[in-house]
Amino acid sequence: MLEIELKVRVDSLDPIRQNLKDRHAEFKGKQHEHDIYYNAPHRDFGSTDEALRVRYTDGPALVTYKGKKLREYGLKAREELNTAVESGEVFEQILDRLGFTRTAEVNKWRENYRLGNASFALDQVDGLGTFAEIEIMAETNGADATGQIQKFAKEMGISGEPILASYLELLLSTR
């Protein structure tokens, strides 16, 4: 699957939240996400533009691999592979035993909405501020997904320069 995403820093989440409600977007819940990022012993993910993350929420831990960003869609696009694990702590011990090292932690509070084939996230990220994201998962035709995302952004009042960096990259750049 190809994750195509628009991420924009916003001053306030309130008008976007109201626009989502006005358009009858389905509220999927609010949760705290605690992400632990790892680097591999055999290659530097910062250099290869990859990411390996263990995410803790209210449910099972989620392990995510994100491939190199694809620039041809004009937004942030990359391969994303996810799998739930029964114990994130045990999985982290396995990574440690294999020589992977913790890179950073990202804490955010996220409100999730769904409208059509798009997911919307309203994020408050520790140390970074507030952001709105629109994401469409596409098997093919990333250009079509990009057009849909831009249309949704206009309808929801999400404007500003698209941020192509991940929260991890933004956080690391502030250190």
Catalytic center residues: 37
Long-range contact pairs involving 40-46 (C-beta distance under 8 Å, separation at least 24): 40/99, 40/100, 41/98, 41/99, 41/100, 41/101, 45/103, 46/103
Residue type, position 94, single letter: I
- CA angle at 71 for the pair 32 and 117, rounded to the nearest 5°: 50
What lies within 8 Å, CB to CB, of 100 at 6+ separation is 38, 39, 40, 41, 52
For 75, phi then psi, to 5°, come to -120, -175
Which DSSP string do the residues of 41-100 spell out, in sequence order? SSS-HHHHT-EEEEEE-SSSEEEEEE-PPPGGGSSEEEEEEEEEES-HHHHHHHHHHTT-
